[in-house]
Structure formats: structure tokens, C-alpha cells
Homo-oligomer: A and B are copies of this chain.
């Protein structure tokens, strides 16, 4: 059904070798031969078979992106979808095709599947565990991690500087005079939520304050509902805080919803702040103050580095931390 290089060669009146040379652009070809082949390619709408090409070159120019999540699907995730967008854009630029998989089991299956497809490299995102990591490492395939829940000294990792981000949040809230503070913290097994809370607390301590365990709500997941529930739980305490910091935006939005339903004005009575700077943060009512993560940069840098790894470079930094940035919006702005 599809034409092959043999058809092209025959119709152009040259050998397969010559046809291959002009099509792949490698090796010497006479002007005349080149023209004949190119005309035939045009006429037959010939598309070289990348599969056959890959078989001999041992490169597919395909890359696999696996997003590991425990609960929810992923392409629609407000944070990871941004990273994915950046990867897709960079891929087009570099000439890679991207397989996207979401793995809710955090098993070896997705990696296995893509390994059989002979992808040139892998980008592993979010909830990794050591077993999985060791498994992937046991094959000699280049790979990098983005916002991984765990760290590994041997694997290049792209992540936001969450410790610094936590500090930024605390510093800002204190500077604005918000105290006492409550925190809604995502699952502490996940590196980023752990570090955000840690940074937040460290800054409080540095500034002469402290953060009591009872002022923290440990969320079971990182969704809106947990933010909402946090308000219900924290409110069982006597004192009402001046502001609530959640370790991601979705939970912060849940917090705001909870506050509003209880009749509080945000930020008039209680301010709220998130982390991530997802798209919704800018358009919610009130618009959410948050810590911006360079999602696009992270995604692009990850693919860029993976490309270098694929091309055989070795001396690459093992961790690249992106500097977060404070974004002040209505949810903490009084007057």
C-alpha cells in the first residue's frame, strides 16, 4: 500500500543505495540522480518508513513520558499538563515524537511497554518509588525525572526549589502581618510537599515564630476536597488564623471555598495562599496568591538534557533546581 524505497529507485531509474542517499541526505549523489529521485518522491508522495530506518540505526527518535499518579488521571492535571505541553513543544523542535502514558499503579508495566517500543529515552514524572527506579536503571536507557517524589544521586532530576518556595511563602505572609498561620500540607511522602512545609516552617522559626503540629492539616491527597475538609477540621480549634497556606493551589482553592461557605471573607477575615501557580489561580475569585513554578522551563530543560544524554553526553548536572517566584494576587491582598 505504501511505496518503498525500492519503488522509488525503480521509478527513478537508480539503485536503492542511491535513492537512500538522496532521501536520507547522507553520502555523495550526482545532481542528476538527486533530481530524478526527488521528483519521484514528490510524485509518489513517498514517506520513508521510520520503522525500517530505526531497525538499522537503532534510534527511533521516540521518547516516552510516563506520569505516575496514584489517584487521578493526568493529562488534565493542572500542573503536569503544563509540563507536558512544554515537553511536546520542545519535542517538535528537536524532532522527537512523544509517547505519553499515565501509570496509576506505579508499576513496571509502562516502562516495560515503552522499552519494547525501543524509545530513545524516558522522562519519568511525579510519584516514583525506589523499586521502579532501580528497575529502569537496570536497563541502559537514558532517562531523567521531573518533580519526582524521590531522589537518586545517579539520576538527573528537574524540580522546583520547593524548600526555597516554602520560605518565600512564609516570609511573605509574615511580612504582610499575617499571624497566626495554618498550613494545609500535602502527603509528606512526596518530596515536594515535604520540602514546601519544611521551608515554610524553617522560615517561621528563623523569624522567631513556630508552627505547632496542631496548626497543620495533613491532607490525604492534593485535591480541592482536601483543602475544603482542612477548613472543617482546623476550625474545631478555638482560634481562627489570619491566613492559611496550602502546599498546592488546588488545596488552597478548596480552603477558600470552605472559608466562604463558613461566611468568612477572603482575604478580609482570613487570607489564603497556594503553591504551583496553576492557570486557575489567576482567574479564581478571589485570584489566588501563590508561588510560581517554572513548569514550562522544567519541561523544556528536561527534554533538552535527555536529548544530550541520548547523544552520548555524560557530564551533566544531576539535579537542576528551578527558582520559584512569589505571585501576589487578591487572596492575600487587603484593601
Contact = CB atoms under 8 A, between A and B. Distances in A.
Contacts of A285: 256-257, 260, 284-285
A48 B1 contact: no
A292 to B, nearest CB: 15
Most chain B beta carbons < 10 A, residue from A75, A84, A116: A75
A256 B283 CA distance: 10
Contacts of A1: 140
Contacts of A138: 45
Interface string A72-91: 01111010011011001100
A117 interface: yes
Interface in A108-137: 112-118
A165 interface: no
A92 B284 CA distance: 34
A76 B78 contact: yes
Number of copies: 2
A290 to B, nearest CB: 15
A279 B76 contact: yes
Interface in A304-331: none
Contacts of A224: 283
Given A97-B113, A254-B283, A285-B285, A51 B47 contact: no
Nearest to A78: B76
Contacts of A256: 285
Interface stretch (A26-34, A52-60, A147-155): A52-60
A52 B55 contact: yes
Given A140-B1, A285-B256, A285-B260, A102 B85 contact: yes
Interface residues of A, number: 51
A47 B108 CA distance: 13
A100 interface: yes
Given A47-B112, A54-B51, A62 B117 contact: yes
A244 interface: no
A50 B118 contact: yes
A264 interface: no
A116 B50 contact: yes
Contacts of A85: 73-76, 102
A155 to B, nearest CB: 19
13 contacts: A1-B140, A45-B139, A47-B112, A47-B115, A49-B116, A51-B55, A51-B60, A55-B55, A73-B85, A73-B88, A74-B85, A76-B85, A254-B283
Given A55-B55, A81-B81, A254-B283, 6 more contacts: A45-B138, A52-B55, A76-B78, A88-B101, A98-B99, A285-B285
3 interchain residue pairs of minimum CB distance:
A76-B81, A73-B85, A75-B84
